[in-house]
Structure 1
Amino acid sequence: MPLATSFAIFQSCNITGVPKSTRCAILRDMAKVRKAEKRPPLNKTHQLKRQDWAKKYLKTDFSKVLWTDEMRVSLDGPDGWARGWIGKGQRAPVRLRRQQGGGGVLVWAGIIKDELVGPFRVEDGVKLNSQSYCQFLEDTFFKQWHRKKSASFKKNMIFMQDNAPSHASKYSTAWLARKGLKEEKLMTWPPCSPDLNPIKNLWSIIKCEIYKEGKQYTSLNSVWEAVVAAARNVDGEQIKTLTESMDGRLLSVLAKKGGYIGH
């Protein structure tokens, strides 16, 4: 009975009248309190496409792939991040209570080999549709990072993005093609596959840092500054570990016949 309460577990065994503290003490010897894992729904078609993707890129030099993604950060952090131990006799810190985390900032970044690209902040109030996404890439990625790279680097780089509507639309695809990112230089991406993108692990590193000890922020600028500072502290070796994990991820996808592999 995974995720059942201690009361439900004891009741299923026809054991009643046991105090909660005793139930929990007994269960600690054989179990742990855990949250349900979140994962995308994968049907048979998704699994087949994930297998095809893994086979296609099995011999790819992943040091040439730029892995990109967006992340939204709020003033208060995700639900459940404010929990932690406190000493006996101490009171838990007071937290501000705001609707929807007090708003948030949308952040875009990329990683390639041992290098972090960005992070770049999406202007507040801008919804990323095809046009605004392409304009954002023009103003940040292409003007501030890509143009500084050598012709050889640009020739060999493979651009990865997920299948968000603003990314995969005909408008965005045609715009990226005019930038030279087409055919084999624009990675095909299987549906429902955040577990295959190593930059998701970078987001976890950054969020753990900016929300440690239940940290909250009072403005969008302050949470953005925290993201920039946390990203600056991620060294090249950490990024290299993430990008070099791709061979293993592909093998895991094939071993699980397209199933979910976790981040």
Structure 2
Amino acid sequence: MHLATSIAIFQSCNITGVPKSTRCAILRDMAKVRKAEKRPPLNKTHKLKRQDWAKKYLKTDFSKVLWTDEMRVSLDGPDGWARGWIGKGQRAPVRLRRQQGGGGVLVWAGIIKDELVGPFRVEDGVKLNSQSYCQFLEGYCQFKQWHRKKSESFKKTMIFMQDNAPSHASKYSTAWLARKGLKEEKLMTWPPCSPDLNPIENLWSLIKCEIYKEGKQYTSLNSVWEAVVAAARNVDREQIKTLTESMDGRLLSVLAKKGGYIPAH
């Protein structure tokens, strides 16, 4: 009975008359309160493409893959992250109330093997389309400089991964990446509706848990960006390696699920 109330769970067991505090205390020993996860719907075509993707990359050396993505962080954090325990007799802290979360910062990063590339901040007010995305990789962030410093053998074997956002998958962006040598087998094809297959999503989760812990809010875009940078520094190489090494298991899981969503890693 996922997401059921405590009283509904007890009633299903024909147990009545138990106070809410007691019900919750009992349930804490065997369960956790969680919000439903939001995921894009998967149709038959999506599932087939996810299976084809898993079969194609089943024998890939994922230590050679640079997994990339963007994340937006707001001043107030995601909805529902401001809850937590407080002592009896104490009042909950006051939170600032702002429309639309007070704005936010768009962040780009990549992970490969045990290395974090970035994070890099997209210039405020810039909407990522094909041109601005390529300009960002070219000059606004240090991805180009990072790539240039790598050995020729690394460049020959590295695979660049990005999702199917319009700014990524357009003809303009594909042509720009091809001119940089990221084409054909060096540019990973990506199945639709598949954030669960990208290990960098787990990195974003680690960073958001850190910057918004205890209901933290921010008063400026620069302060939330500084928090992202500090949180990223605290993610050690072993944690990143664990994420990138999870890919073999993710592929096997998506095949076992016949293209369906896989458990969280």
When the two structures are superposed, what TM-score results if normalisation uses the length of structure 1? 0.91
3-state SS of 1:145 partner? helix
Which residue does the alignment assign to 1:52?
52
The size of the alignment, in residue pairs, is 260
Aligned with 1:76: secondary structure? coil
SS of the aligned residue for 2:128 comes to coil
Pick closer, same or farther for the CA change 1:241–1:106 going to 2, 3 Å: same
| Deviates further, 179-188 or 23-32 | 23-32
Deviations 1:109-158 (A, max 9, x none): 000001000100000000000000000010xxx43311111111111110
Report the Cα offset of residue 218 of structure 1: 0.5
Structure 1 CA distance, aligned partners of 2:26 and 2:234?
Answer: 42
For residues 196-227 of structure 1, the C-alpha deviation after alignment (integer angstroms, 9 at most, x for no partner) is 00000000111111111111111000000110
Distance 1:65 1:32, change over 3 A: closer
Q: Aligned equivalents of 1:65 and 1:194: distance in 2?
A: 16
Change in 2 beyond 3 A, CA 1:13/1:237: closer
How far did 1:2 drift?
Answer: 3.8
Distance 1:191 1:173 in 2: 17
Deviating more after overlay: 162-171 vs 8-17: 8-17
CA change 1:28–1:203 in 2 (3 A) is closer
SS at match of 2:18: coil
> In 2 relative to 1, CA 28–156 (structure 1 residues): closer, same or farther, beyond 3 Å?
closer
Deviation at 1:231?
0.6
- CA 1:64 to 1:32, structure 2 compared with 1: closer, same or farther past 3 Å? closer
Q: Summarize the Cα distance change of 1:50–1:85 in structure 2 as closer, same or farther, 3 Å threshold.
A: same
Q: Which piece of structure 1 moves more, 15-24 or 232-241?
A: 15-24
1:150-201 CA deviation, whole Å, 9 max, x = no partner? 1111111100000000000011001100110000000000000000000000
| Equivalent in the alignment of 1:239 | 240
- Alpha-carbon distance, 1:3 to partner: 2.9
Distance 1:128 1:248, change over 3 A: same
Counterparts in 2 of 1:147 and 1:174: CA distance versus 1, 3 Å: same
Distance 2:84 2:182 in 1: 45
Map of 1:97 onto structure 2: 97
Alpha-carbon spacing, 1:8–1:114, altered in 2? closer, same or farther (3 Å): closer
| Change in CA separation of 1:217 and 1:16 when aligned onto 2, cut-off 3 Å | same
**Residue 120 (structure 1) aligned with residue 153 (structure 2):** no
Q: What residue ranges of structure 1 are gaps of 5+ in the alignment?
A: none
Q: Distance in 1 between matches of 2:224 and 2:48?
A: 40
Aligned partners of 1:130 and 1:198: how far apart in 2? 24
Q: Which moved more, 1:1-10 or 1:205-214?
A: 1-10
Q: Distance in 2 between matches of 1:247 and 1:50?
A: 14
Structure 2 CA distance, aligned partners of 1:98 and 1:37? 25
Secondary structure at the residue paired with 2:4?
A: coil
Residue 84 of structure 1, CA deviation: 1.0
